[in-house]
Amino acid sequence: MSSTFPAEGLDHLHRVLAGHIERGSMPGLAILVAAGGRVHAESIGTSSFDETRPLKTDAIFRIASLTKPVVAAAAMSLIDDGQMGLDDSIDHWLPELTNRQVLRTLESELDDTEPARRAITVDDLLSFRMGFGIVFGPGEPYPIQKAEAELGLKTLGPPWPPTPWTSDEWIERFARLPLMRQPGDMWLYNTSATVLGILVERVAGLPLETVLRERILGPLGMEDTAFSVPPDKWDRLTTAYSPDPETGELSVLDGVVDSYWSKPPSLPDAGGWLVSTIGDYWAFAQMMAEGGVRRGVRVLSGEAVTQMTTDRLTAQQRRESALFLGDDGGWGLGLRVPAAGGPGRGTSTGYGWDGGTGTTWRTDPTTGLTGILFTQRAMTSPAAPQVFTDFRAAADRLVDE
């Protein structure tokens, strides 16, 4: 892709990221930066530590939680078409989740509950306030965490190996658990996205990947974005690595021929199972930046994009979620957004999200700069790894110079 960014800034960006490759932090990475009609994409390194051929910009990465904004956009497309509304209860489509019980405390046993004060809404799922998600605590897991693990839901911890359950089986098992908090009370990560994906299937009456293909991926030309990788694309699939939390030593998380992604999953998990390329994801980010339109094709209404990228959280909810969102982050509908009333310049405070396999996207609405970085090194905590912060700082220099 061509570029008219300042050469000095691009050289600096390349040197900073190449340093991570040279130090052995990861075998390769791919980046895309865009602003004001200028687009620059490049790849550095190789697809695995055993590979010698240079990585190409059409390499396929497991994008993990960057799946969430894509599925949220599909849900907003259904809302645009009047098939559901933000304030609608999900009970009509997900009767398994009617009459929820809620734990009295996080430490409570599963039968120590009280009735939910209201039904879960579509907004609750998109804003991650349905009342169930990842929590951190000292020592032994809470009873609710043990029960979730025993059910094989894969929503409160690493999603691999993938859950064996289909969408219907997964939601039936999830319905056996009480909520952790009352609907609407608190931002809790991840589980809402998986439930949202099943809701989208039920509303549309189609498999989730079909809905994504018809409403988002197809119109945007995202041909390499899917829940699995067919054999004719295996040569473009990168190897994923995971660092030891203590030593940092890397081990293979997922290969190619024996990849978890070599066949369609039982559950197309909207929480984080898509693969993609930087070019594909740029098509999505560009659509969002242009108010739901890309190259003359309207995918979402302008109102839907505004709703997605506007902070929905209260000040208290932002404080409680700072571990994931940072001190200057809020949450819109399916993605991180600048906190209401907070600082607004720079990709670090822009809207977008990160993927636990080492991927990140941010668009700065003040400068129009979009930065997309796909790596092969999994994250070890919700905090941004050094390669993310280095990338964002170097990318911001491109529009500051």
**Domain limits, the chain:** 7-71+208-400, 84-204
pLDDT of residue 238: 98
Q: How far apart are CA 174 and CA 179, in angstroms?
A: 10
> pLDDT-based confidence at 1, cuts 50/70/90?
very low
Q: Say whether pTM exceeds 0.95.
A: yes
> pLDDT-based confidence at 3, cuts 50/70/90?
low
**DSSP category for residue 142:** P
pLDDT of residue 2: 44
Proportion of the chain above pLDDT 90, given as a percent: 91
Q: How far apart are CA 56 and CA 115, in angstroms?
A: 53
Q: How far apart are CA 272 and CA 355, in angstroms?
A: 8
- The two three-digit tokens of residue 245, written as one number: 């939390």
**pLDDT surpassing 60 at residue 339:** yes
Beta carbons of 223 and 118 less than 8 angstroms apart: no
Helix (H, G, I), strand (E, B) or coil at 232: helix
| Half-sphere CA count of 35, side-chain side, radius 13 A | 22
Which is the CATH superfamily of the domain at 7-71+208-400? DD-peptidase/beta-lactamase superfamily (3.40.710.10)
**pLDDT surpassing 70 at residue 164:** yes
Secondary structure, 3-state, 159-197:
CCCCCCCCHHHHHHHHCCCCECCCCCCCCCECHHHHHHH
Cis peptide preceding 343, ω within 30 of 0: no
**DSSP category for residue 296:** T
pLDDT of residue 119: 98
Strand ranges for 220-376 from DSSP E? 240-243, 250-254, 275-276, 293-294, 297-298, 329-331, 336-338, 351-355, 359-364, 369-375
**pLDDT surpassing 90 at residue 137:** no
Beta carbons of 300 and 86 less than 8 angstroms apart: no
User: Among 73, 67, 61, 134, which Cα is nearest to 272's?
Assistant: 67
> In sequence order, which residues have a C-beta less than 8 Å from that of residue 259 and are 6 or more positions away?
229, 234, 237
Proportion of the chain above pLDDT 70, given as a percent: 98
Of residues 310 and 140, which shows the higher confidence score?
Answer: 310
Give the dihedral sign, CA 146/151/156/161: positive
Query: In whole angstroms, how large is the CA radius of gyration of the chain?
Result: 20
pLDDT of residue 35: 96
pLDDT of residue 257: 85
